[in-house]
Every structure is written in structure tokens, then in C-alpha cells.
Structure 1
């Protein structure tokens, strides 16, 4: 994988339609980049790829290392090489977008990837609990997601910023997952406040490869772009 190219398996619209019973294997995905995000079959928790390892962030708040043969119905990776790394304070989650804009204010219609390392005064994350019946849409899981609040916690955030026009293929705007330094807790980031300065690496991405599933369920699914639904589940 070339530096700062994005590889993606499937699309968010498929998850919204409940297509989550199979996908690319963890061993295949690990070769697509050095960091990334996604989910597991049946939408069981969140995924973070960091430094060559794939972790499952579970609804219990705990973390496990994923096995090589486990399947991922939706996953995004990049071979991240920061084009700039700065030290900065983040007073809110909105400050993440401000850092990206300050780096390249002309990248509104391009993708951006980033990695944030440091200690957070407070961080709120969520994890989905998984489908309760076959093909349950992702939007229905939003009301039953597990939310965790952390204080003075050190760790890493992996994220992507997606142009608004790509809503449904990916999550438009910010989409970021957190894992703590000890690899014990984490989830999809909803809110954050840094404790002092954090290290923030960023890169602009203009090359994107999307691999679509060929399963019968994927081809039979009725997919539409549910902007309200995606915003509701992804925060």
C-alpha cells in the first residue's frame, strides 16, 4: 500500500442496511496499512488498527486482539505517514477539525487521515453491542450503544475526515476511534478534552481504493444514504 492512500472494504450504506455477516479477514486487512478503523461481523463493537495490530473494542469497554481469520464487514486503513506533526491542546472534539483546517484549508473535498497521541483530561466513547437479529440495520443499534466516560487517560486516536459528498460511502466529517496506552479500553470517540498538549499527525489523501463485497446479501440490499441515521449513530 502506497503511503497515505486509503483502502476501504465495503461502504457505510451497507452497514446501515444491516449487511454485516462476512467480509475481509483480519490477516488481509493488516496488510492494507498501519492504522485504520472499522467493525466486526454482526457489528460487534468497534475496530482499531494500530501499529500492525487489529483490536476489537467491545461494548463492555474492554479490548481484545482480533484473530487472523475473523472477518470485517466494513474497514478502512491507510499506510499513514504524517505530512506534519504538531503539539497542540484540544479543548473539544471540534478542535480536531480546526487543526486539519489549519494544516490545509483547501482540502475540503479531499480525505484526511490523522493520529493523535497523548493524555486526555476527559474522553467519551461508545461501542455498538452488535446485531440482535439477522440483518438488523446499524441505525437501530444507536439507542443501545454502550457509552463510557474516561478521565485523565493516555492513549491514541486514529481518525479520518471524509468530504460531505462521500456520506454513505464513508462517514462524512470526523470518524475516530480511541485506544488507551495499555490496550485495555477504547471506543468510537464522541467527546474529548486533552490534558495539556498532544501530538497530532496529519496527512491529506487523494487516492482511495474501495473493494465492494460480492455476496448475495450485499447485492440484494436496498441501500440509500441515510444522512440523519449516520449522524445519529456516529455522533
Structure 2
């Protein structure tokens, strides 16, 4: 993959339809980029790709390094090279979007990737514990998600901003995952307060999709549940 070209395997709508039984391997994902987000088979926790390693952010906040053969039913990543890096204060989660708009206010219909490193006075994160039955949709898993709050924590956030028109293919708007510097806790970011950080940003206009060929993917009845997506993704 070229620098700052987006790679995605499968669709968010597939997760919303409960399709998560198989996918590409962690080794294959690492070959596509250096930062990324996603999930694992049966939606067992959150995925974060960072600097050549794939981390599984499990319910309860614990973390494991994925094996090369672990399968990933959904992921998005890029070979990230920041076009701008700035030291700043993030007052809250909405401040991320403010920084992106300042960098490129003509990117509302393009994708943006970012990497944030620093200390946060407060972070609120969630993880899902995985499907309890075959085909259980992501929207239902979100109702039983594990939520953790962290005070004065240092670490890295990887995120993407996707255009509203792509809801269902991606998660429209902000989507970000966190891992602490000691690689002990992390999750999908729900809220931020008072982050003293360095933030790198890049605009993306090249996208590469790879879709599953499984019977379950091809037979799934997919539609965009905007309300459900917003509720589960925060």
C-alpha cells in the first residue's frame, strides 16, 4: 500500500449484520499499514494496529498481542505519514475534529487519519466482549459493552475521520482506539478531557477495499442502521 492510502477489509454493515466468523490474518493486516482499527473473529474486543503489531483490546480493558494467524473480520488501516504534526491541548473529544478542520477545512468528503500521543487527564473507553451466539449484531453487543474510565493516563490514540456519505462502509465521523504506554489497558474512545498531546494528521483520498467471499457475507441482508451505529460507536 502507498503512503496515506486507506485499506479496508469488509464493511461496518457486515458487523451490524453479525458477519464476523472469519477474515484476513493479523500478519496480512500488518503488511497493509502501520496504524489501524478493527475487530476480531466473533467481535472479541477491539483491534489496534500500531507500529508493526496488532493488539487485541479485550473486554475488561486487558490487552494481548495478536498471533500472526488470528483472523480479522473487519479492519481499516493506512501506512501513515503525517502531513502535519502539532503539540496542543485537547479539551474534549470534539477538539479532535476542530484540529482536523484547522488542518484541512476542505476535507469533509475525504478521509483523514491521525495519531495522538500524550497524557490525558481523563479518558473513557469501551470494549465489547464478543458474540454470544452466531450472527449476533454489533448493535446488540453494544448494549452490553464494558466501559472503563482512566485518570491521568499516558498513551496513544489512533483514529480516522470518515465522510458522512460513507456511513455503513466505515463509521462516519470520528472513530478512535486508545492504548496506554505500558500496553496494559485500552479500548474504543468514547470521551476525552484535557489531553496534552502531539497530534499528527494526514488527509486521504485513495481507498482500497477488499470484501469477504464467504457464504455468510454474500447472503447477509445488509442495510445502514444509522441510529444503531451512532449508539454503539459513541
> Normalising by structure 2, what TM-score?
0.99
User: Using the alignment, how far apart are the partners of 1:190 and 1:64 within structure 2?
Assistant: 21
1:143 positional shift = 1.0
Structure 2 runs not aligned, ≥5 long:
none
1:194 positional shift = 2.9
Q: Does 1:12 align with 2:12?
A: yes
1:136 positional shift = 0.4
Partner of 2:118: 118
1:193 positional shift = 1.4
Partner of 2:129: 129
Partner of 2:221: 222
Any idea what SS the aligned residue of 2:179 has?
strand
User: Using the alignment, how far apart are the partners of 2:198 and 2:112 within structure 1?
Assistant: 16
Q: Does 1:79 align with 2:79?
A: yes
Q: Summarize deviations over 1:6-51 as a string: whole Å, max 9, x none.
A: 0000000000000000000001010000000000000000000001
Aligned pairs for 1:179-194 within 5 A: 179-194=179-194
Alpha carbon RMSD of aligned pairs, Å?
A: 0.5
Partner of 1:62: 62
User: Using the alignment, how far apart are the partners of 1:68 and 1:224 within structure 2?
Assistant: 32
User: Using the alignment, how far apart are the partners of 2:97 and 2:90 within structure 1?
Assistant: 10
Partner of 2:51: 51
User: Using the alignment, how far apart are the partners of 1:223 and 1:187 within structure 2?
Assistant: 26
Equivalent pairs, count: 234
> Normalising by structure 1, what TM-score?
0.99
Q: Summarize deviations over 1:185-234 as a string: whole Å, max 9, x none.
A: 00000001134x31000000000001000000000000000000000100
